[in-house]
Amino acid sequence: SQQGEEDPQALSIQEGENATMNCSYKTSINNLQWYRQNSGRGLVHLILIRSNEREKHSGRLRVTLDTSKKSSSLLITASRAADTASYFCATASGSARQLTFGSGTQLTVLP
């Protein structure tokens, strides 16, 4: 079953604009992670935010986590054509810290 649901399902923006993707989940978590997947490739880890953290930055990425609303957002600033990919949130929960993925947001950055 999918733990997280991303919103929107698809997003198209111009190069240089910011892109925001949202993730909602259902159960309590240990941490939440964001991954990127280019077409036909494996997933690449972007950033991890622990359940006791509210915001985290990494380069052009900013992640927020609101555990009371069971939601997270990923902001990519000053987007580039190379950022075109699918983005997935994944929650780590359960006794074995199972990593459960959402349905993803397809981001297209137009040059």
| Least distance from other proteins to the Cβ atom of residue 15, Å | 25
Element (H, E) at 14: strand 10-14
Q: Based on CB atoms, which residue is closest to other proteins, 76 or 87? A: 87
d(CA 84, CA 107) in angstroms, rounded, equals 5
| Least distance from other proteins to the Cβ atom of residue 102, Å | 5
**Residue entry with tokens 């923006």:** 13
**What does 17-54 look like in DSSP terms, one character per residue?**
S-EEEEEE-SS--SEEEEEEE-TTS-EEEEEEEETT-S
| Least distance from other proteins to the Cβ atom of residue 49, Å | 12
Q: Based on CB atoms, which residue is closest to other proteins, 19 or 87? A: 87
Q: Which residues contribute to the site for other proteins (CB under 8 A)? A: 1-2, 4, 30-31, 33, 35, 41-45, 48, 88, 90, 92-104
